[in-house]
Amino acid sequence: MLTILFIKNSEVIITMCGIIGYIGTKNAVSLVLSGLKKLEYRGYDSAGIATISNKLVVKKDVGKIDEVFSKIDVSNIKSNIAIGHTRWATHGKVTKENAHPHTDCKNEIAIVHNGIIENFKELKEELIKKGHVFKSETDSEVIAHLIEEEMKNKDFVNAFFECLKKLKGSYAIVAIYEKEKKMVAARKESPLVVGVANHGFFISSDVPSFIDETKKVIYLYDGDVVVINNGLKIYNNGVEVKREIDSVEWDAEQAKKGVFKHFMLKEITEQANVIKKAIAQDDDIIKEIVDSMKNAEGIYFVGCGTAYHACLEGSYIFSKVAKLHVNVCYAHEFPNYVHFLTPKSLVIAISQSGETADTLTAIRAAKEKGAKVISIVNVAGSTLVRESHKVLLQHAGPEICVLSTKSYTSQLAILVLLAYAFVDKLDEAKSKLKELIRYIYYLTSKNTQDYIKKLAEILKDSKDIYILGRGLQYPTALEAALKIKEVSYIHAEGFAGGELKHGNIALIEKGTPCIVFTSKDTESDIISNAQELKSRGAYVIGIGPKNNDVFDFFIKVREAEEANSICQIIPIQILAYQLAILRGLDPDKPRNLAKSVTVK
């Protein structure tokens, strides 16, 4: 039961793509093209659209969306039905042929797909034996040919249903057929949401693609199949079902860059407001989760990437504030530990998107053992929300940049609230966080950005950057390294200060940049580590409340005790952004990455 508390090559690459479809009374091509641009953070190696204008028309090519549609003029195509796709390769090289949409042999059926069809090779071999000719290397193309094969004795909709029965793997699929002004779609372990407008229906990977047109959404469940023509019907296991129409709490402006050149910088500067929203969480929800933690026999925090760093930070916070031991595990490794789980175990999953495949696998493994699952997640209606027993929504608003910034600090703030609530000091936690808000405004100000840009100019040609922290600052060091390497492509490595002497110091030579996080609790030991680095010729950057002679460059960040990492990560987020800009890179769309990893 779910309780929502609030409310390049042919190798496999673990990423995702963006899908959008529209059917209604407006110009579908322009709406789909506009939606694709808002989904480009989900994949940007190729793009395309398919529409029906007397006959099926498919336009696609390699490149980012603006590049593709500068080569392909679609402005003269008028239609009230269209589907679009922006791709990041999973199967098949980055070529025009492998770009979506894909069609059948007769070029009458077009599909777009996100996910992985695990049995596509077997299906493809069977279809080739039956005379089908394939144009691409992708797993996705088999879907179009399967529908075509089933239509030999079924109509379009029923052929789509039969096609789904033969697919193994994960998918979000949208399909159209030249001879019927009808759109069909399905989801299994891959995100898909319906937008309900007064002029028609959207179906998409994510809400920002259509938020300019409507805030009314239907969050689809796993196994849902959607049929849209003059109206909308949803089926699950062959039976028609009803899904509620929800309203998105944020508006279109929040999903736009506004005055900012990049979403990354916009989202960094939004963090003061994000902390405000974290503080505004319902006390009863916080207390319900705390009660679940108190009644549990074994608590596990699971997440991936930045969310894992929030989990690790949370374990330190709970140890210090609540004197509570919490186990921490990468979500993709968690199934190896389920042998310890019992019905009294509690798993707390942390995720921005709520669609991370590894995290979903972890919580499903936990539920099989009878464990209770609570999730801290930013996206309402996501799979993680629906599959958890209880949910705490972050309310951080849309995060469009591939790199996680504001959602990370939101997660940390919520963990601080939970830890203090565990010892009946929730008001004290809120007071501490409120004190930070004005300071976070300062940390994200233009003056701070300009100051950190000076450091970025020093580091922009670095080959390696090493980052040290102790205690609460150790997870901060890991997250700092991740931010730098994700967006600047400089190799960065974070490690615990105490590990310096156990091998890592061999990496230090004259001029090696080393960032050191300090706090009142760790000052003596971490400064000793900094001196060890300096004596080997390192260029030492200090981040913390007090400057020291050992630092070659210093960024002052006030002491915030258990909330130190909320403040200390912000200068690194800005540094990572500035490094990307100085190195001529797009901070919103780093290579080889996409916003949410929805396949394993």
- The string of pLDDT tens digits covering residues 471-488 is 999 999 999 999 999 999
596 within domain boundaries:
no
- The string of pLDDT tens digits covering residues 520-568 is 999 999 999 999 999 999 999 999 999 999 999 999 999 999 999 999 9
**Residue 3 scores a pLDDT above 60:** no
Contact 324, 296 (CB under 8 A): no
Do residue 385 and residue 450 come from a single domain? no
Catalytic sites, residue numbers: 17, 595
Do residue 204 and residue 280 come from a single domain? no
CATH of the domain at 44: 3.60.20.10
Q: Which of 207, 227, 254 is the last residue of a domain?
A: 254
- The string of pLDDT tens digits covering residues 331-359 is 999 999 999 999 999 999 999 999 888 99
pLDDT for position 252: 56
- The string of pLDDT tens digits covering residues 223-256 is 999 999 989 999 999 999 999 998 887 665 666 7
pLDDT for position 194: 96
Do residue 376 and residue 475 come from a single domain? no
Do residue 266 and residue 162 come from a single domain? no
Closest CA to 519 of 571, 474, 455, 465: 474
Question: Which residues on adjacent β-strands are paired with residue 194?
Answer: 203, 218
Containing domain of residue 397, as a range? 258-444
Give the strand order in the sheet containing 246-247.
55-62, 46-53, 81-87, 18-24, 200-204, 193-197, 216-219, 246-247
598 within domain boundaries:
no
Alpha-carbon distances of 466 from 252, 474, 477, rounded to whole Å: 39, 12, 9
Do residue 63 and residue 172 come from a single domain? yes
* Region for residue 367 given its phi and psi (left: phi exceeds 0; alpha: psi -120 to 50; beta: otherwise): alpha
> In total, how many domains does the chain have?
3
What SS3 string covers 398-462? Answer: CCCCCCCCHHHHHHHHHHHHHHHHHCCCHHHHHHHHHHHHHHHHHHCCHHHHHHHHHHHHHHCCC
- The string of pLDDT tens digits covering residues 31-62 is 999 999 888 777 678 899 999 988 999 999 98
Percent of the residues in the chain that have a pLDDT greater than 70, as a whole number: 94
Do residue 495 and residue 528 come from a single domain? yes
Range in 56-65, 68-77, 364-373 with the lowest mean pLDDT: 68-77
Q: Which of 444, 463, 487 is the last residue of a domain?
A: 444
| C-alpha span between 132 and 135 (Å, rounded) | 10
| C-alpha span between 591 and 185 (Å, rounded) | 29
| C-alpha span between 162 and 302 (Å, rounded) | 37
1 within domain boundaries:
no
CATH of the domain at 348: 3.40.50.10490
Range in 174-183, 198-207, 250-259 with the lowest mean pLDDT: 250-259
| C-alpha span between 242 and 391 (Å, rounded) | 22
**Neighbour count for residue 439 (Cβ, 10 Å):** 16
Q: Which of 226, 254, 282 is the last residue of a domain?
A: 254
**Residue 492 scores a pLDDT above 60:** yes
- In degrees and rounded to multiples of 5, residue 485 shows phi and psi of -75, -30
Residue 595 binned pLDDT confidence (cut-offs 50, 70, 90): low
Mean pLDDT of the chain: 91
Alpha-carbon distances of 413 from 31, 279, 389, rounded to whole Å: 37, 8, 22
Do residue 518 and residue 418 come from a single domain? no
**Residue 441 scores a pLDDT above 90:** yes
Residue 416 binned pLDDT confidence (cut-offs 50, 70, 90): very high
- HSE-up of 252 (CA within 13 Å, CB side)? 10
Give the strand order in the sheet containing 491-496.
491-496, 464-469, 513-517, 539-544, 553-556
Do residue 419 and residue 531 come from a single domain? no
Length of the chain measured in residues: 600
DSSP state of 337: G
pLDDT for position 93: 81
Residue 6 binned pLDDT confidence (cut-offs 50, 70, 90): very low
Cβ-Cβ contacts under 8 Å for 328 (sequence gap 6 or more): 300, 301, 302, 308, 311, 312, 314, 315
Structure tokens at 540: 């030492």
Contact 29, 81 (CB under 8 A): no
**Residue 2 scores a pLDDT above 70:** no
pLDDT for position 13: 33
Do residue 226 and residue 90 come from a single domain? yes
**Residue 134 scores a pLDDT above 90:** yes
Do residue 82 and residue 131 come from a single domain? yes
DSSP state of 567: H
440 within domain boundaries:
yes
502 within domain boundaries:
yes
228 within domain boundaries:
yes
**Residue 143 scores a pLDDT above 70:** yes
Do residue 30 and residue 68 come from a single domain? yes
418 within domain boundaries:
yes
46 within domain boundaries:
yes
Averaged pLDDT for residues 96-122: 94
| C-alpha span between 406 and 311 (Å, rounded) | 15
Do residue 46 and residue 152 come from a single domain? yes
Range in 6-10, 92-96, 426-430 with the lowest mean pLDDT: 6-10
DSSP state of 163: H
